Amino acid sequence: MTSTAVHLPSPRVPRVRAAAGRLQDNPVDGRKRVLLAAPRGYCAGVDRAVVAVEKALERYGAPVYVRKQIVHNIHVVTELEDKGAIFVEEVDEVPEGAHVVFSAHGVSPAVVNAASDRGLHAIDATCPLVTKVHREAVRFARDDFEILLIGHEGHEEVEGTAGEAPEHVTIVNSPAEADTVQVKDPSKVVWLSQTTLSVDETMETVNRLRTRFPELHNPPSDDICYATQNRQVAIKKVAAAADLVIVVGSSNSSNSVRLVEVALEHGAKAAYRVDYAEEVKQEWLDGVATVGVTSGASVPEVLVREVLDALDGAGYHDVEEVRTAEEDLMFSLPKELRQDAAGQRDARALGGRVSGAAV
């Protein structure tokens, strides 16, 4: 099994809405239906990050700068740009003294220091589950462990985690690299991982590493986030019964790309990723009775609903939700945003997942 690392930002292309009725209701063998995976869409960390930018704009006024994409979804980024957010690659592009938000994927200490040197008012929207991995890296480096960080080199989350202890971290991009990575002391090696990987592929990498380094230490708790795991479990169940799976999510969203791979590995005859409903092609539906639908953890529910509406126009009226877990986790907003301008606790101080609700 192989995966393609995701490095590049989604292209900024204008959305061209397709006319209603674009997809045809062609006959197929069997009853047309949609299996809608749940959980899907926004996780608590994404919701927190998006609300953080919205609250910063309300509190401080536009523009508010954001280092990298706040989350990996082109629709979310475009909407926030329309509200006054300005996305930059590095903090040296931000005017001195301005407000800058660090994305949900986290940043290295070097980025934090660079922002401080420019006198920026930094708001850290890093997902708390990513912060947990950062703290693990710091602790293991302090104890002089070599850290094998399983993840995609160039991904913002991996860059941030590795930056906590660069002299101790070696990135392992794939199971194949586990067979060749070298360490100085096999008795003092620990593995950590990017939070948005395929669970199955990560464990394959870990098993290969453990074959070579039997004393390999585990992180104190699972690094792959609950939302990534839950969405993969749900699509596995859907894929086994689906002729086609459609994953809503952007091309630079690691967890969305993984959902396509997981669907194919677990029985889907075909699987495609789309940003928008307009990208669903008529030929994908030829001969298809059962369509599975899900979305990555940075995707607002409105985009899923648009796909369902498009499928409804093609005769897929019956929608059955396949739920494999309940999610009620919520994270507090960054401390700078928990109070309003008058110093009162803001009603939105506690973020939470707002999509993936029942049909």
Residues 256, 261, 266, 267: is their CA dihedral positive or negative? positive
What is the SS3 string spanning the chain?
CCCCCCCCCCCCCCCCCCCCCCCCCCCCCCCCEEEEEECCCCCHHHHHHHHHHHHHHHHHCCCEEEECCCCCCHHHHHHHHHHCEEEECCHHHCCCCCEEEECCCCCCHHHHHHHHHCCCEEEECCCHHHHHHHHHHHHHHHCCCEEEEECCCCCHHHHHHHCCCCCCEEEECCHHHHCCCCCCCCCCEEEEECCCCCHHHHHHHHHHHHHHCCCCECCCCCCCCHHHHHHHHHHHHHHCCCCEEEEECCCCCHHHHHHHHHHHHCCCCCEEEECCHHHCCHHHHCCCCEEEEEECCCCCHHHHHHHHHHHHHCCCCEEEEEECCCCCCCCECCHHHCECCCCCECCCCECCCCCCCCC
Is 251 known to sit in a ligand binding site?
Answer: no
Is 116 known to sit in a ligand binding site?
Answer: no
Cβ contact 172:119 at 8 Å: no
Residue type, 72: H
Is 298 known to sit in a ligand binding site?
Answer: yes
Measured torsion, CA atoms of residues 244, 245, 251, 256, in degrees rounded to the nearest 10 = -160
Is 225 known to sit in a ligand binding site?
Answer: yes
Is 217 known to sit in a ligand binding site?
Answer: no
204 is catalytic: no
Rounded-to-integer distance, Cα 162 and Cα 138, Å: 10
Is 72 known to sit in a ligand binding site?
Answer: yes
Is 108 known to sit in a ligand binding site?
Answer: no
Is 7 known to sit in a ligand binding site?
Answer: no
Is 10 known to sit in a ligand binding site?
Answer: no
Which residue in 136, 146, 156, 157 is the catalytic one?
A: 157
Q: What is the largest CA-CA distance in the chain?
A: 65
- The annotation places the binding site at 43, 72, 105, 127, 155, 195, 225, 253-255, 298
Active site residues: 157
Indicate the annotated binding residues for [4Fe-4S] cluster.
43, 127, 225
Known binding positions for dimethylallyl diphosphate: 72, 105, 155, 253-255, 298
